Amino acid sequence: MNPDYPLVAAPPRTRSLVLGSTSRYRRELLQRLQIPFDVAAPEVDETALPGETPCGLAERLALVKARAVAHAFPHAVVIGADQVADLNGLPLGKPGTHERAVAQLRQMRGQTVIFQTAVAVVCLESGFEESSLAAVRVRFRDLTDDEIENYLRAEQPYDCAGSAKSEGLGIALLESIDNDDPTALVGLPLIRTCKMIQAAGITLLANSKVRS
Distance, in Å, from the CA atom of 209 to the CA atom of 212, rounded to the nearest integer, reads 10
Distance, in Å, from the CA atom of 18 to the CA atom of 70, rounded to the nearest integer, reads 8
Beta-strand (E) ranges in 3-126? 17-19, 38-39, 77-87, 90-92, 112-123
Q: In the Cβ-directed half-sphere of 54, how many Cα atoms lie within 13 Å? A: 21
Of 113, 103, 126, which Cα lies nearest the Cα of 196?
126
From first to last of its 212 residues, what are the pLDDT tens digits of the chain?
A: 444 544 443 334 578 999 999 899 999 999 999 999 999 999 899 888 999 999 999 999 999 999 999 999 999 999 999 999 999 998 988 899 999 999 999 999 999 999 999 999 999 999 999 999 999 999 999 999 999 999 999 999 998 888 998 889 999 999 999 999 999 999 999 999 999 999 999 999 876 444 33
Which residues are designated catalytic? 82
pTM of this structure:
0.86
Q: Domains of the chain (ranges plus CATH)?
A: 17-199 (3.90.950.10)
- Alpha helices, DSSP H only, in 73-174? 98-108, 145-155
